[in-house]
Amino acid sequence: MARLVIKTAWTIATIGERQVPVEGLAIVVEKGRIADLTRSPPADADTISLPQGIAMPGFINLHNHTINAPLFRGIVDDLPRSAIGESKVYSMLMPMGGLAASLLDERELRAIMALGLLEVLRSGVTTLVDQFRPPQASIFDLAREWGLRLYGAPYLFSPAAGVIDASVAGASRGSLEGETGLAEFERLFRTHDGGPEGLVRVILGPHAADSCGPDLLHRVDAIARERNILVTIHLAQSQGEVDRVAQQRGLGCAAYMQSVGLLREGVILAHGTHLTDDELRQVHDAGAAIANCASVFLRGGKAPSFERFRRAGVGAGIGTDAERMDFFAQLRATGFASKQAYGAGDAATAAALLRAATMDAADILRRPDLGRIAKGAAADLLVIDALKPHLQPINDPVRSVVWYATPADIDTVLINGRAVIRGGKTVGIDEAAILAAGAAATRRVWAESRRRGYFPMEADPEKP
């Protein structure tokens, strides 16, 4: 891999445990790593120069369902509670997602996944944690082909959990009738896992506290410890889930995770919006982490507070979940929700949000070489072209990026030292073909969903 130099006006460098904007610093990249930070870069290297640019660590999206964003675009927005019942997860998202897994062939599923993954990549995400149904495992191939750093978590369910209709659960598990999905996980692990330093990892993804029983979760814990791999699970994402766990297990959500060995370091709890203050203390003391996904809840009229997790001392990262995968928009939604919740302009500052989306998320993934611009760190970098009317003049590059930048401002994205976006264009990706194929496959699912009555009337423009 040839030596590369990145020259920008500002570099958000990592100095100790702080992210510090430094002017006039060049980044030298060699063999996938940051070889040097210098004011006198080599003149003979391939050079990316943006005199008004901002170089920063690439974003780490800690919780996502890539295929869901295109699948539910314009469908789950603006819905009243009466249209979706207690939880849109089980009334809409799971049935339609299961339908896609059973209706579409591998080529069509890959097309929708590619459409979603293109949005992820174009928003400056260099590392993605994604949960999906086993039939949607084409995400592994796409990530490898495009050079995206992926932690893929195929869903696991307990067949007898009783939360999901049998047909939906069966579709969620692919062809594994009556199984938890562990056999499919093992197949995907053998096929795709790249090991501790690999770009593509296969991790454990039990669906949620109310859809996974203790026998399955004990097995998940044992496998994770034996192989030293991560676990991610939805936890306390709705009051209905909290109530079901209490009814089924006689425990709160955090206590249930503790009882099966999954309240600990190496476990990413998605959402945690309905955890009590006492439960947050449990999460903190146990060393588990939370992926905060503000937009998907704000869309339904709720305001989950990242600041609440931060003040509790809980390790927290940021994810886009099943909503629009614009990570800049997600940072702002996260910040505004916290500021509103606390009535304080200094809640969820730009510095705290950027750190959560980079350094802190990297630590949660057990990768202290990610999320940083420092000598020896992996060259997962994002370069913003700040010569734009909404970004000039620059007083504080961190605040400029978090509160004002958009995906359209991205000039360059490096992952493991390789440019996947350069000059604002993706490298080696046929975007026009992806847009056409992904939209066509999605419309097939929409048509069948209408026929089966999965669309709420309020979501369907074809009905009066």
Closest by Cα among 124, 120, 146, 150 to 137 = 150
H or E stretch covering 341: helix 327-342
At 208-263, the pLDDT tens digits run 999 999 999 999 999 999 999 999 999 999 999 999 999 999 999 999 999 999 99
* pLDDT beyond 70 at 85: no
Region 104-128: what's the mean pLDDT? Answer: 98
CB 181 within 8 A of CB 231: no
Integer Cα distance of 28 and 20 in angstroms:
18
Closest by Cα among 191, 219, 194, 171 to 204 = 219
| Stronger pLDDT, 418 or 169, i.e. the higher one | 418
Give the count of alpha carbons within 13 A of 218, CB side only.
4
413, β-bridge pairs: 382, 421
At 124-138, the pLDDT tens digits run 999 999 999 999 999
Question: Coil, helix or strand for 392?
Answer: coil
> What are the φ/ψ torsions at residue 139 (nearest 5 degrees)?
-60, -30
Strand order of the sheet with strand 315-318? 231-235, 267-271, 289-292, 315-318
Residue with tokens 């073909």: 433
* pLDDT beyond 90 at 106: yes
At 320-372, the pLDDT tens digits run 998 889 999 999 999 999 999 999 999 999 999 999 999 999 999 999 999 99
* pLDDT beyond 70 at 177: no
- Tell which CATH classification among 3.30.1490.20, 2.102.10.10, 3.40.50.2000, 3.20.20.140 matches the domain 59-364: 3.20.20.140
Integer Cα distance of 401 and 353 in angstroms:
11
Confidence grade of residue 464 (pLDDT, cut at 50, 70, 90): very low
Q: Specify burial of residue 406 (Cβ count, 10 A radius: 0-12, 13-18, 19+).
A: middle
Domain ranges in the chain?
4-58+380-424, 59-364
pLDDT > 70 in the chain, percent = 92
Confidence grade of residue 174 (pLDDT, cut at 50, 70, 90): very low
DSSP state of 177: T
Per the rule left: phi > 0, alpha: psi between -120 and 50, beta: everything else, 169 is alpha
DSSP state of 135: G
What pLDDT is recorded for position 78?
A: 83
What pLDDT is recorded for position 299?
A: 83
Question: Coil, helix or strand for 195?
Answer: coil
CB 212 within 8 A of CB 241: no
CB 135 within 8 A of CB 187: no
Closest by Cα among 278, 160, 260, 245 to 214 = 260
* pLDDT beyond 80 at 80: no
What pLDDT is recorded for position 160?
A: 64
Amino acid at 429: I
Q: Specify burial of residue 133 (Cβ count, 10 A radius: 0-12, 13-18, 19+).
A: buried
Integer Cα distance of 236 and 450 in angstroms:
30
Residue with tokens 């191939």: 141
What pLDDT is recorded for position 168?
A: 44
> What are the φ/ψ torsions at residue 102 (nearest 5 degrees)?
-95, -30
Closest by Cα among 464, 463, 452 to 91 = 452
Integer Cα distance of 167 and 324 in angstroms:
28
Name the superfamily (CATH) of residues 4-58+380-424. Answer: Urease, subunit C, domain 1 (2.30.40.10)
* pLDDT beyond 60 at 159: yes
| Stronger pLDDT, 177 or 52, i.e. the higher one | 52
- The rounded mean pLDDT for the chain is 92
Region 407-427: what's the mean pLDDT? Answer: 98
Task: Give the least confident one: 15-24, 93-102, 147-156.
Answer: 93-102
Integer Cα distance of 464 and 28 in angstroms:
59
Integer Cα distance of 205 and 155 in angstroms:
5
CB 9 within 8 A of CB 54: yes
* pLDDT beyond 50 at 318: yes
Query: Count of H helices and E strands in the chain?
Result: 19, 18
